[in-house]
Structure 1
Amino acid sequence: MRNYLKSVTAMCLAAGGAHAGALDRTGQSVDVLFEDGRYVEFSFATISPTLSGTGTTLTPGIGSGDISPAYQQYGAAYKADINDRLSYAIILDQPFDASVDYPTGTGYFAAGSSAEYDSMALTGLLQYNVGNGASVYGGLRLQSAEANATIQFNTPVPALNLDYAVDASRDYGVGYVFGVAYEKPEIALRVSLTYNSEISHANDTFETSVALGTRSSVTEFETPQSLNLAFQTGIAPNTLLFGGIRWVDWSDFALTPSLYFQRTGGASLLSYAEDVTTYTLGVGRKLNDTWSVAASLGYEQTQGNLFTNLGPSDGQRSVGLAAIYTQGKMKITTGIRYVRIGDTTTVAGPFSPAGTFENNDAVAIGVKIGYTF
C-alpha cells in the first residue's frame, strides 16, 4: 500500500508530456525523491502527433500535410537515503523538445521547411527531512540544447520569399532547483512545490540565406523558469486523488539567430506570446497487491494568439489511463494518453493569418520500470 501511494501520482504521466505546451515534454517531475529506500527507474515513451493546417492568406485552401513526426522520449532516475534525515536523487530527462517537418510537393507555402530542437538534462537533488512531515530539497541541473532549421517560404511577394537554414550547435548551461514538501502518511497526503530556474545558453550558430549569404555568430537564449505544485491525498481505502499545476514562463523565451532577425525584419525563429499553465487531476485505485490503476485529465487554456509556423499549437485537453504491475521489488508502469491539440493560426511576416491548424491530436504510450533494493 505504501509503495502504491508513493507511485500513483506519476502513473498517468508514464506516457510522457505528450505534446504539452510550447516545447515542454516531461514536466520536470521530482517524484522520485519520495520513493522508499534505494530506488532506480527507467522510462520510455513514444508520441505520435497528427498536426496539419490549411493555407489562408497564403496558398488559400491548400493543406500542409502532417507536419509533426512521431518521436520518442527516454529517462532514468536514481534515489537513495544517506541517513534518516538526508536523501538524494539523480534524474536524467529530455525536458524540452520539438520537431516540425512540412512535406514537400503539397503546394503549401511552407512546404519543405523543417526544424528540430533538442535538450537533455541531468539533475542532482538533495532532500532534508525537517521533521513533522516537512522537507526541503534543492540542487543543480546541467542542461544541453541544440537546434536546426530549414525554412522555405514561397509567398505571393517574391521579395518576401525565404530560403534560409540554421544550425545551432549543442551548448551546456547550469540552473538550479528548489522545493518544499509536506507529507502525512496516515491519510496518504503529500504536497510539494518545486521551482526550476531558467537556464542560459549561448550556441555557436551557422546561418545561410539566399538573400544575405552566410554568417557565423552566437545565439543566446534562456529555457524558461517554471513552478510545479503537485498533490495527492487519500479519499477512501485504497483510493487516491492526485493532481498538479505547472506554470512555465514561455513569454520570456525567444530563439533569434542574428541573420534570421535581419532577413525577417526583427522576427524570432521561435517564440511564444504567453506563459503556459497546465492543470492535471486524477484518481488512482489499488485493486490488489499486484495491480493498481489510475485515470487523469489534463488542461491547458487556448490563448488565441498568432503562432510561428514552427510551433502551431495552442492549448490542449487530454485524458490518460495507466496501470502498475507490482511483483516483489519491481514495478512496471504503463500509460496511454490522448491529447486534443488546441486550434491556432500562424503568421508569416506581414501575412496574417498565414494558415489555420484545427482538429489535431496526439497519442502517447509509455512504460516505466522501477526497482527498489
Structure 2
Amino acid sequence: MKKLLGTVAIVALAPGLASALGLDRSGQPVSLLFEDGNVAELSFGRVFPSVDGQDNFAVSAAGRPESGNVADNYSQVGFGVKYDVNPKVSVSVSFDQPYGSNVDYPVFDGSEGSILLGGTSATVDSRAVQALGRYKINDNFSVHGGLRYQEIQADVTLAGAAYLQRDPATGAVIGNGLNGYNARFDDDGDIGYLIGAAYERPEIALRVALTYFSGTTHRLPTIESINGFQVAPESVTEVEAPESVNLDFQTGIAADTLLFGSIRYAWYEDTKVSPFVFGNSDGSGTRSLTDIEDSYALNIGVGRRFNDKLSGSVSFGYEPKGDDLVSPLAPTNGLKSIALGLSYNVTEQFKVSGGIRYARLGDATSAPGGNGVADFDDNDVVAIGMKIGYSF
C-alpha cells in the first residue's frame, strides 16, 4: 500500500489559485521524509485559473462591464532528496515555492475589462529550502524537525476608478488618490524552523504525522511610486509569513486500498503589508495591502494499487468561506475540489506519477477600502502535475 504515496503527493502538488487559505501554494509538505529507502524526486505543476467578474454598476444599456480573466496561469516546481543514515535516522533536503499570487485586472477597452479596477495587479513569488531530520524512537513513534530558509518578493499595482480620491459627502472625484500606485518589494530571506512527531503501525499502513511550522519575518526593500513617479525614499516593509500546522494521516482500509488525508491551518491574520506611503494613506500608518483571515484546508481521499506497477487515487478538498468582501488582490472565497492521480512503477527504482485537480472557487466581492466594487461568481481552476521519483 505504500506505493500509493507517490500518487498522493503529486495530487497535493496542484492547489487552487487564490484559495481561502491565504497565499498558500505548495502546502509545505514533509511527506518525502517518510518515503521508504533513499529517494530523489522532481515535480512540476501547471495551474490554469479562470477568475472573472463584473463591475458593480452599469455603464450603458449593455449592462455591467465584464472584467475578463484576472488570474494568470502559473507553474510550480519542487525537488528533494531523502537519505537513510541508519535504521533510526533519516534526513532530507527539498525545495518548494510555498506562497504566491498572480492577479492582473484587464483595463476596460470599451467592451471588456474593469473600469473600477482595471490595471490593478499583484505578483508574489517565493522560494524555500528545508533541511529535515527524523529519528525513529521505535517501530511506532518518531520525531522530526529542521530548518527552513525562505525568500519572498512582490510587486503590487493599484489602478482604476475605485482608487480615485472622492468627496466623502458627494462622491465626486476630487483627486487621483491611489490610482496608479505601485509598490515594488525586493526579495529578502529568513530562517524558520519546523518540528513534529508521527505515530505509525506499518502492518496496516497507518501513519499520523503532526508538523508545526514557525513564521518567518521578511524585511523587504520597498520603492513606492504613483504613475511612474517615486513618491517616497526607499524604505523597508516588514512582512510576517504565517505560522502553520499540518496534520497528515493514512491507513489501510482493505487489501491494496489506502485512506489518506490532511488538515492544514495557517495563521494569516498577522501577515500585513504596510509600505510607508500606502500604510499612511488613511492616516493610521498601518493600512495593509493584504487582509487575510486565519483559515484551514481539508483533503481526504482513497488510493488503490491495481497491480505491482500501477496505482491510482481520488481525493476531495475543501476550504471554508470567510468574509464575502475580499481584497481585489485575491478575489475568491473558499473552494471545493476533486483530484485524480496515477502512479506507474517503470522499474523497481524509477517511478512516474501524474495528477489533475479541478476546484470550484467560492464567490466573492472585491472591496478596496471595504467598499464592494466588483462581484466574482462561478469561477474555477484546473491544475495538472507530474512527479518523477528515483530510489537508490
Q: TM-score range by the shorter chain?
A: over 0.9
1:343 corresponds to which residue? 363
Amino acid at match of 2:128: A
1:223 corresponds to which residue? 241
The CA deviation at 1:261 is 1.6
Cα distance in 2 between the residues matched to 1:169 and 1:212: 15
The CA deviation at 1:15 is 2.8
1:185 corresponds to which residue? 202
Assess if the C-alpha contact under 8 Å between 1:12 and 1:335 holds in 2.
yes
1:92 corresponds to which residue? 95
Assess if the C-alpha contact under 8 Å between 2:43 and 2:77 holds in 1.
yes
1:33 corresponds to which residue? 33
Q: Does 1:301 align with 2:300?
A: no
> Sequence identity, in percent?
39
Select which of 62, 66, 71 maps to 2:69.
66
Q: Does 1:170 align with 2:190?
A: no
The CA deviation at 1:161 is 5.2
Give the unaligned 5+ runs of structure 1.
Answer: none
The CA deviation at 1:107 is 4.6
Select which of 183, 208, 211 maps to 2:225.
208
Cα distance in 1 between the residues matched to 2:271 and 2:183: 18
1:233 corresponds to which residue? 251
Cα distance in 2 between the residues matched to 1:233 and 1:288: 19
Q: TM-score, normalised by structure 2?
A: 0.90
Q: Does 1:126 align with 2:139?
A: no
Aligned residues: 370
Structure with the bigger percentage of strand: 1
SS in 2 for 1:65: coil
Q: Does 1:12 align with 2:19?
A: no
Amino acid at match of 1:157: V
C-alpha RMSD over aligned residues: 1.9
Amino acid at match of 1:67: V
The CA deviation at 1:171 is 0.3
The CA deviation at 1:17 is 5.2
2:354 corresponds to which residue? 334
Cα distance in 2 between the residues matched to 1:167 and 1:174: 22
Assess if the C-alpha contact under 8 Å between 1:58 and 1:109 holds in 2.
no
Assess if the C-alpha contact under 8 Å between 2:10 and 2:386 holds in 1.
no
After superposition, give the CA deviation of every residue in 1:281-310 in whole Å (9 maximum; x if it has no partner): 100000001110000000011113421111
Cα distance in 2 between the residues matched to 1:202 and 1:14: 28
Q: TM-score, normalised by structure 1?
A: 0.94
Cα distance in 2 between the residues matched to 1:203 and 1:212: 17
Judged with a 3 Å threshold, the aligned counterparts in structure 2 of structure 1 residues 271 and 19 are, in CA distance, closer, same or farther, namely closer
Judged with a 3 Å threshold, the aligned counterparts in structure 2 of structure 1 residues 252 and 39 are, in CA distance, closer, same or farther, namely same
Cα distance in 2 between the residues matched to 1:122 and 1:281: 27
Q: Does 1:254 align with 2:272?
A: yes
Assess if the C-alpha contact under 8 Å between 2:310 and 2:344 holds in 1.
yes
Judged with a 3 Å threshold, the aligned counterparts in structure 2 of structure 1 residues 19 and 334 are, in CA distance, closer, same or farther, namely farther
Give the unaligned 5+ runs of structure 2.
Answer: 163-171
Q: Does 1:117 align with 2:117?
A: no
The CA deviation at 1:85 is 1.2
Judged with a 3 Å threshold, the aligned counterparts in structure 2 of structure 1 residues 18 and 150 are, in CA distance, closer, same or farther, namely closer
